[in-house]
Amino acid sequence: MSSSTTVGTAARPLRVAVVGSGPAGVYAADILTKSEAVKSGELTVSIDLFDRYPAPYGLIRYGVAPDHPRIKGIVNALHKVLDRGDIRFFGNVDYGPDISIEDLRTHYDAVIFATGAIKDADLNIPGIELEGSFGGADFVSWYDGHPDVSREWPLEATSVAVLGNGNVALDVARVLSKHADDLLVTEIPDNVYAGLKDSPVTDVHVFGRRGPAQVKFTPLELRELSHSKDVDIILYAEDFEFDDESDRQIQTNNQTKTMVGTLTNWIAEQPEDLSELKASRRLHLHFLHSPVEIVDSADEPGRVAGIRFERTELDGTGNARGTGELVDYPVQAVYRAIGYFGSALPDVEFDHKKGVVTNDGGRVLDASGEHVPGLYATGWIKRGPIGLIGHTKGDALETVTYLLEDRENLPLAAVPEADAVVELLDARGVKFTSWEGWLALDAHELALGAAASDAGTSHGVEVQRERIKVVPREDMVDISRDGVAAQV
């Protein structure tokens, strides 16, 4: 059956489901609607976006620190795409429990998985299971008001270690070290503010395995550290090692040059006598440390009492090798932020080593390595949790290009009518949310912030609050489905 005469025409649009409404899913949907085939009138498309959360935006809402300087710009861009009205949003619909692969293939000609990666990558060292050892992704979910995590977080440590040299590690360290009152200008939920306000932390240590020229965070993230009030940044001269590859990177990569310049300026301006630093909290940046063991407490067995590292050195290629020298740091909590890892999806082949849906350029493969007609992937579930959000656009373009190349051979939906999936979800009692529902929830969260601002203070602090995030899933769903903001 030719898609040029039947599917993709005004009488029968190409029906596509996108599972995941973070940047990867929204970019894929947007690129498909703006493809040359659509713009020329050769093809029409009908796209439904599904998400397990009641609200859209995925990683942007639940995976980035609330004080991240670029959140608003990214959210505004995603909002513009979904607000056009040519892409439907179905929130609070969990792929697997609520809608199966069979359901999607019955109602859509193609399915794009854009479910991202939300779990912490494993770190297999002794003591990783001790009380006080946490995954950075879990902490991010807590401070971002994820609806499916506990409202409480055990912030009891005065000294904390954060493992990793990427943006998530810096986010975790910044939130741990920053004073809670300074986060009130963000959309931080009230329960998170209360937890951070009571934190006794004085020192946060960030550890990287390689040198300053090999860090994976961005200049903007690095500079943000210096904006925290009453927090001193401390660096150590013995950690500043540069090999031939480091020098090459500094000379050829402006981002590396900027970050190394920032770090060397900071350590040059740092007083020789650290006792001259007077902030109540300190953020330590360490390089050339490879974690060996999380140390158990002798007084309280089963709890973190410290962490042991092997000092490393650069080998000339930008990689690090162990020196055999061990060093211990007394800390009461350890956060690993060494990367994310994807989760397997029901009825889709999964590469458990890489943490991605098995695919070839975005075409989902079966166990024998053959493309499963009509199934695609994009974003971190396609390529792993690497790269910045902007890289997701090129990734989505590759996937959508393959989908369009395949469109004449897609297995056509048996029930292509747009309203049929609504009837299916209703019949199953799935309390799905819509884009209009998100606008209601969005307005409600903004109203909560405005009310706090109108009161003049929030938690006794004079501050203007743009938004206060709603956390409980049931509240998000009720506000969205009612379509009317609750009384503030």
Q: What is the CATH number of the domain that holds 269?
A: 3.50.50.60
Determine, yes or no, domain membership for 406: yes
Determine, yes or no, domain membership for 171: yes
Assess whether 50 and 164 both reside in one domain: no
DSSP assignments along 431-476, one per residue: --B-HHHHHHHHHHHHHHHHHHHHTS-BTTB----S------HHHH
Distance of alpha carbon 211 from alpha carbon 312, whole angstroms: 9
Name the amino acid, one letter, at 302.
Answer: G
Assess whether 327 and 204 both reside in one domain: yes
Buried/exposed code over 77-100 (b: 16+ C-beta within 10 A; e: otherwise): ebbebbeeeebbbbbbbebeebbe
Answer for the pair 88, 81: CB distance below 8 angstroms, yes or no.
no
Picking from 298, 315, 340, the residue at the C-terminal end of a domain is: 340
Answer for the pair 188, 142: CB distance below 8 angstroms, yes or no.
no
Assess whether 141 and 61 both reside in one domain: no
Assess whether 302 and 359 both reside in one domain: no
Q: What does the pLDDT look like over 131-179, one tens digit per residue?
A: 999 999 999 999 999 999 999 999 999 999 999 999 899 999 999 999 9
Spell out the residues 6+ positions from residue 72 whose beta carbon is closer than 8 angstroms to its own. none
Reference 116, options 24, 48, 217; nearest CA is 24
pLDDT tier, 487 (very low <50, low <70, confident <90, very high otherwise):
very low
pLDDT tier, 391 (very low <50, low <70, confident <90, very high otherwise):
confident
| Number of domains comprising the chain | 2
Is the pLDDT assigned to residue 5 strictly greater than 60?
no
Domain extent for 225 = 122-340
CA dihedral of 48, 50, 56, 61, whole degrees rounded to 10: -140
Assess whether 261 and 399 both reside in one domain: no
What pLDDT is attached to residue 6?
60
Determine, yes or no, domain membership for 57: yes
Assess whether 109 and 140 both reside in one domain: no
Determine, yes or no, domain membership for 79: yes
Predicted TM-score (pTM) of the model is: 0.91
Burial group, residue 150, by CB count within 10 angstroms (0-12, 13-18, 19+):
exposed
Assess whether 198 and 282 both reside in one domain: yes
- CA 91 to chain centroid, in Å, comes to 18
Assess whether 188 and 247 both reside in one domain: yes
Assess whether 426 and 368 both reside in one domain: yes
Determine, yes or no, domain membership for 177: yes
What pLDDT is attached to residue 40?
93
Name the amino acid, one letter, at 219.
Answer: P
Distance of alpha carbon 137 from alpha carbon 158, whole angstroms: 21
Determine, yes or no, domain membership for 251: yes
Assess whether 143 and 289 both reside in one domain: yes
Assess whether 312 and 264 both reside in one domain: yes
Q: What does the pLDDT look like over 264-290, one tens digit per residue?
A: 999 999 999 998 999 999 999 999 999
Answer for the pair 379, 23: CB distance below 8 angstroms, yes or no.
yes
What pLDDT is attached to residue 293?
98
Helix residue ranges per DSSP H, 188-275: 190-197, 219-225, 244-252, 254-269
Determine, yes or no, domain membership for 143: yes
Determine, yes or no, domain membership for 347: yes
Picking from 413, 432, 451, the residue at the C-terminal end of a domain is: 432
Picking from 302, 323, 340, the residue at the C-terminal end of a domain is: 340
CATH number for the domain spanning 391: value is: 3.40.50.720
- What 8-state DSSP symbol labels residue 96? T
Q: Which two tokens stand for residue 109?
A: 């000609």
pLDDT tier, 3 (very low <50, low <70, confident <90, very high otherwise):
very low
**What is the rounded average pLDDT of the residues 46-69?**
92
Assess whether 278 and 419 both reside in one domain: no
Is the pLDDT assigned to residue 486 strictly greater than 60?
no
